[in-house]
């Protein structure tokens, strides 16, 4: 693991620098992040279906990139998108459309409260569940109904990999903000997050893997 940690504000500044100063499109950063996370998951061993839970933000977009690569490599991977397409961020929507046009397994979970039993059944058949619901920008507790999704993931007994940071964990303090994913592994981008210095965060992150997204932190 890198010997330095970056805060929520530093993550935001890094992305802004890469996009606005260096001219690297956000979609390229997302592609590098998602592929890197997929490579880590592959290295950990996949013996069945991978269910990737994607939120409406760029963290969800990373998850969609993961799903595309995993399917391309011959794995059984399905994306669950917890938002309508029109509510996705621009880069996440781009990835959604690519997955959709390629005919990769994709399911929109627009009515969580009435689809909880469906989710439980999907999770029961999974080998891995990937948490790509919320990223480092989360500053308050996960609200209803996605807190219920986190509870179902944690109760599933499946192996869980978190993308960048477990959903519900505060980036800067490493403390849960409410319902929080308990992952076996976390693939984080560029550098460990500031909150990972807090030993209490290990209960939620599990083993942390740092992935390069095409530009180093300076």
Q: What is the pTM (predicted TM-score) of this model?
A: 0.96
The Cα 44–Cα 159 span in angstroms is 10
Q: Which residues of the chain have pLDDT under 50?
A: 1
Q: What is the pLDDT of residue 104?
A: 93
Of the candidates 108, 86, 110, 106, the residue with the CA atom closest to the CA atom of residue 98:
106
Render pLDDT for 2-25 as a digit per residue (tens, 0 to 9): 578 999 999 999 999 999 999 999
Q: What is the pLDDT of residue 2?
A: 52
Q: What DSSP state is assigned to residue 44?
A: H
Q: What is the pLDDT of residue 215?
A: 86
Secondary-structure breakdown of the chain: helix, strand, coil percentages, each rounded to the nearest 5: 45, 20, 35
Helix (H) or strand (E) holding 166: none
CA distances from 23 to 35, 55, 89 (A): 20, 26, 19
Q: Domain spanning 8-211: which superfamily?
A: YjeF N-terminal domain (3.40.50.10260)
Domain layout of the chain by residue ranges: 8-211
Q: What is the pLDDT of residue 218?
A: 61
- Are 67 and 52 in contact, with CB atoms under 8 Å apart? yes
Q: What is the pLDDT of residue 51?
A: 98
Of the candidates 99, 171, 104, the residue with the CA atom closest to the CA atom of residue 135:
171
Cis before 145? omega within 30: yes
Render pLDDT for 180-210 as a digit per residue (tens, 0 to 9): 999 999 999 999 999 999 999 999 999 999 9
CA distances from 55 to 61, 67, 90 (A): 8, 14, 13
């Amino acid at each position: 693991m890198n010997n330095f940690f970056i805060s929520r504000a530093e993550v935001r500044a890094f992305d802004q620098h890469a996009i606005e100063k260096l001219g690297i499109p956000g979609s390229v950063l997302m592609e590098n992040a998602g592929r890197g996370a997929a490579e880590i998951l592959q290295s950990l061993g996949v013996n069945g279906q991978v269910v990737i839970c994607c939120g409406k933000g760029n963290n969800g977009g990373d998850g969609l990139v993961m799903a595309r690569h995993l399917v391309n490599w011959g794995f059984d991977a399905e994306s669950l998108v917890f938002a309508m397409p029109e509510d996705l961020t621009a880069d996440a929507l781009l990835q959604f459309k690519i997955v959709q046009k390629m005919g990769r397994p994709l399911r929109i979970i627009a009515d969580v409260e009435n689809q909880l039993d469906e989710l439980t059944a999907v999770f029961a058949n999974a080998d891995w569940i990937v948490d790509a619901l919320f990223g480092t920008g989360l500053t308050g507790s996960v609200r209803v109904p996605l807190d219920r999704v986190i509870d179902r993931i944690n109760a599933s007994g499946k192996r869980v990999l978190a993308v960048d940071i477990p959903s519900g964990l505060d980036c800067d303090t490493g403390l849960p903000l409410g319902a929080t994913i308990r992952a076996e592994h976390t693939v984080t981008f560029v550098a460990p997050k500031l909150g990972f210095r807090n030993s209490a965060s290990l209960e939620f992150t599990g083993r942390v893997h740092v992935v390069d997204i095409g530009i180093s932190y300076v």
